[in-house]
Structure 1
Amino acid sequence: MPAASNPTERSERPGPPEPPYLRIVAEIRRRVTDGELAPGDPVPSVRQIAREWGVAHATATKALNTLRQQGVVRAEPRVGTVVAEGVHRPTAANTPTAAGSPAPRRAPAAEPELTRDRVVRAAIEIADAEGLAGLSMRVVAARLGVATMSLYRHVDGKDDLVQLMIDAVYGELRHPEPPPSGWRRRLEVGARELWALHRRHPWLAQPHVLTRPLPLPNIIRAAEWMLAALDGLGLDPTTMVDLHVLVHSFVQGLGANLEHEAQAAAVTGLTEDEWMDRQLPAFADLVATGRYPVFGSVLRAFARTGYDLDLDTVFELGLRALLDGHARVIEERAGQRTRRHSSE
Structure 2
Amino acid sequence: MLEQPPYMRIVDDIRGRIASGELRPGDRVPSTRQVAKDFGVALATAAKALTTLRMEGTVQTEPRFGTIVSSRTVKPRPLKEQGLSKERIVRAAMDIADGEGLEAITMRAIAHKLDVPTMSLYRHVANKEDLTLLMVDAAFGDAVYPDDVPPGWRARLEVSARTQWAMYRRHPWVALLVPLGRPLPLPNMIKHADWMMSALQDADLDPVTTFHIHITLYGYVRGTASNLEAEAQAQADTGLTEDEWMDSQEAAFTALIASGELPSYSSLITKLVDGYDFDLDVLFEFGLQALLNGFAQIVE
Q: TM-score normalized by structure 1?
A: 0.63
Aligned counterpart, 1:295? 265
Aligned counterpart, 1:249? 219
**Conservation of the 8 A alpha-carbon contact between 2:173 and 2:229:** yes
Q: Percent identity?
A: 52
1:173 and 2:147 correspond: no
**Conservation of the 8 A alpha-carbon contact between 1:235 and 1:330:** yes
Aligned counterpart, 1:328? 297
State the AA in 1 paired with 2:279. Answer: D
4+ residue runs of structure 1 moved beyond 4 angstroms?
Answer: 18-21, 56-59
Question: Quick one: distance in 1 between partners of 2:168 and 2:259?
Answer: 39
Aligned counterpart, 1:232? 202
1:158 and 2:128 correspond: yes
**Conservation of the 8 A alpha-carbon contact between 2:143 and 2:164:** yes
Aligned counterpart, 2:106? 136
How far 1:57 sits from its partner (Å)?
Answer: 11
State the AA in 2 paired with 1:198. Answer: Y
Which of 118, 133, 146 is the aligned partner of 1:148?
118
Question: Quick one: distance in 2 between partners of 1:58 and 1:290?
Answer: 55
Which of 221, 231, 252 is the aligned partner of 2:191?
221
Aligned counterpart, 1:282? 252
* CA offsets 1:68-89 (integer angstroms, 9 cap, x no match): xxxxxxxxxxxxxxxxxxxxxx
- C-alpha RMSD over aligned residues: 2.2
Q: TM-score normalized by structure 2?
A: 0.72
Question: Quick one: distance in 1 between partners of 2:170 and 2:180?
Answer: 20
Aligned counterpart, 2:44? none
Structure 1 unaligned blocks of 5 or more: 1-17, 22-55, 60-109, 332-344
* CA offsets 1:261-317 (integer angstroms, 9 cap, x no match): 000011111111111111111111111221111211222234x31321111111111
Q: What does residue range 97-136 of structure 1 map to in structure 2 within 5 Å?
A: 111=80, 113-136=83-106
State the AA in 2 paired with 1:311. Answer: L
Question: Quick one: distance in 1 between partners of 2:40 and 2:118?
Answer: 10
Number of residue pairs aligned between Structure 1 and Structure 2? 230
How far 1:123 sits from its partner (Å)?
Answer: 0.3
* CA offsets 1:125-156 (integer angstroms, 9 cap, x no match): 00001111111111111111111111111111
CA 208–314 in structure 1, closer or farther in 2 if over 3 Å, else same: same
Aligned counterpart, 1:4? none
Question: Quick one: distance in 2 between partners of 1:250 and 1:210?
Answer: 10
CA 137–20 in structure 1, closer or farther in 2 if over 3 Å, else same: closer
Question: Quick one: distance in 2 between partners of 1:305 and 1:276?
Answer: 14
Structure 2 unaligned blocks of 5 or more: 8-37, 42-78
Which of 212, 236, 255 is the aligned partner of 1:266?
236
Question: Quick one: distance in 2 between partners of 1:180 and 1:149?
Answer: 48
